[in-house]
A and B are shown apart, each in its own frame.
Chain A
């Protein structure tokens, strides 16, 4: 079955960038879009964008345009989400999502 494996946690300073990996398995990597969604502490979910692993094409949410980059590595069936110019409001759990299967999430803390 589908597995989405994410790293545990990252701590970054304001202004820095973070790259969150999501290693996939259990299905044909190039067949389905992979989404990124984040959840700030005590808040709901915010869609960040998606990537087509087949050709690398992306679509980003307006709120993240210019700050987010999603890429993929077909040799390892891994997708990456890079968020730059981090600020304290970016402190959140970042999830990769395939169809209705969610990874366990990566906690990103932005603090000076």
Chain B
């Protein structure tokens, strides 16, 4: 299957700082990338859907000014957690897909980034 990478794999930062997470599709062009968040013992939750060249669509309850998503190319999407706080500590996962007609093709997931905010 296709490969999606994330960088960094883990990050520890101080409260109030901003953290950028990169998601790259290594061997295919991803028209759509998804960002998920998983808190301990909870299901994976979709945060936002990002289509190349357009603004991301955020799920209800996700602050777009806090979680900045940029999808400037078909192989790279970034998630920036601005002014991070301890409650933002979580496992962030991206996935990449491309659309065929009206349906999404298979999603390929990155390995995830564990963020710990002190």
User: Do A and B belong to a common assembly?
Assistant: no
